[in-house]
Structure 1
């Protein structure tokens, strides 16, 4: 099983002038320990279900560009890009830039944006959920066209591009992998079946993950897509360091269901968390 580190909190340490060094140190520890992926959030205010909006938050792709210069092996991505925050053609160029500068390590993690407070606060259009999913599908189509041989126009209901020129092309082959985050059964998992290389679910329990994967399998059958070709990943939402034996049991059950990557979230001091995780849990999880 591969492991990912999902860096979601910039509040530790409290001093703003130590955010960069703490992020850098954490990333270096993660890469040396053997984490396969390093992700950050695509938020501008901290999520209120995890803290307060006034807590520090960095723009995601700028952060990944910084990390690209500090790391050599880990894949880099947002978990996940909010579809409303960037025009699709520009998003394809942003991910391409990250891919080129990181030596082919970029991933497009994407989902339907949801945090209305930050959208309203910063002037991002708030549209109905159905439209967000329409825009998500068009964004996926545009990115795939930008990364393919067709440089011609794209005409959708929400986006119209006169050209889909993308030079330089990504270093990743055949293109940066696409990971769609979320477990919505009617729309999100359908889009995974149509367009994605990977899904990302909340690994809240093996039973819930099994149910979501069954829905994904049904969508793949309906779409004529090979279910086994889609990488299954999950965010581990419980306290990872509180009960390592339970984490190991959960990981074994999730692996049996087909999950091949688990993303863990540092709680509190990210350097201390990643160091302890690397010593206590990573060697055991790597054997699954």
Structure 2
């Protein structure tokens, strides 16, 4: 099993003045410790699960650029980009740039979005869920078209929500044929899109994980995709305590998810001292689950 990290909470010691220093430390320590991926949540307000909009929240892609500059080997990705925040061509261009500047380490994590209060509070359009899923599918189609060949598939794109006269993308991504695509969520519509377009899924852990993955297997067969070629990841808290007392419990939990079919655990670390958590997970947890 591979271990990833999602930065989703930013109430770190030192406040805003220390955020840059802390972020660089997290990136270096996680990269050296063997974390496979560092992701950043794509929000402009902090979510209600972490104290709501009065708590700090860094913008996703700016943060990823700093992480990429201070790492050498781990993948970097939005986990996951809300489809309502950006035009698809800008999203593809942003991920392409991240891939080029990181030496070919970027992923596109994308989903239908969920935080209505954030969107309306900050002036972003937030259509009904069914429309956002339509936008998500068109976004996936546009990104793949922009990553097609040496320049992008330059034929016009005409969709219900987006229109591109000339899908040209230069420079192209270093990762070929394109940066891996991860779709977040585990509902039926989401898993169908994973089978049709994605290289990875990102599901929520729970007693129905195996049933969700079985459904994905069914959809892959219907779409003519190789189920085994899709990376199965799940996102949940990684907590080991400041003294490492939670290592055994966390390792056992990861083994259970590996038995259920999860290949990559993307952990959210909730701590005012995340660097220490990275060190402990890298020292005690990553080696213990590497053979799963």
TM-score, normalization: structure 1?
A: 0.95
Q: Is the 8 A contact 2:240 2:277 kept in 1?
A: no
2:251 is paired with a residue of what secondary structure?
Answer: helix
Q: Is the 8 A contact 1:153 1:160 kept in 2?
A: yes
Q: Distance in 2 between matches of 1:252 and 1:270?
A: 23
Q: 2:199 aligned to 197, 200, 203, which one?
A: 197
Where does residue 288 of structure 2 map in the other structure?
A: 284
1:100-111 aligned at under 5 Å gives the runs 100-111=100-111
Where does residue 248 of structure 2 map in the other structure?
A: 245
User: RMSD in angstroms over aligned alpha carbons?
Assistant: 1.4
1:166 aligns with 2:172: no
Post-superposition Cα deviations, 1:254-286, rounded to whole Å, max 9, x if no partner, equal: 223332111111121211211222223222122
Q: Is the 8 A contact 1:68 1:102 kept in 2?
A: yes
| Residue 218 of structure 1: how far off its partner (Å) | 1.5
TM-score, normalization: structure 2?
A: 0.94
Q: Distance in 2 between matches of 1:240 and 1:87?
A: 39
Q: Distance in 2 between matches of 1:72 and 1:257?
A: 31
Q: Distance in 1 between matches of 2:77 and 2:37?
A: 8
Q: CA 1:197/1:16 → structure 2, altered by over 3 Å: closer, same or farther?
A: same
Where does residue 3 of structure 2 map in the other structure?
A: 3
1:270 aligns with 2:287: no
Q: Is the 8 A contact 1:217 1:227 kept in 2?
A: yes
Q: Distance in 2 between matches of 1:239 and 1:188?
A: 28
Structure 2: gaps spanning 5 or more residues: none
1:177 aligns with 2:180: yes
Where does residue 221 of structure 2 map in the other structure?
A: 221
Deviates more, 1:161-170 or 1:229-238: 229-238
Where does residue 261 of structure 1 map in the other structure?
A: 264
Q: Is the 8 A contact 2:77 2:109 kept in 1?
A: yes
| Residue 79 of structure 1: how far off its partner (Å) | 0.4
Q: CA 1:49/1:236 → structure 2, altered by over 3 Å: closer, same or farther?
A: closer
Q: Distance in 2 between matches of 1:261 and 1:162?
A: 38
Q: Is the 8 A contact 1:240 1:264 kept in 2?
A: no
Q: Distance in 2 between matches of 1:251 and 1:11?
A: 26
1:175 is paired with a residue of what secondary structure?
Answer: coil
1:253 is paired with a residue of what secondary structure?
Answer: helix
Number of residue pairs aligned between Structure 1 and Structure 2? 285
1:32 aligns with 2:35: no
Q: Is the 8 A contact 1:81 1:111 kept in 2?
A: yes
Q: Is the 8 A contact 2:4 2:37 kept in 1?
A: yes
| Residue 14 of structure 1: how far off its partner (Å) | 4.7
Structure 1: gaps spanning 5 or more residues: none
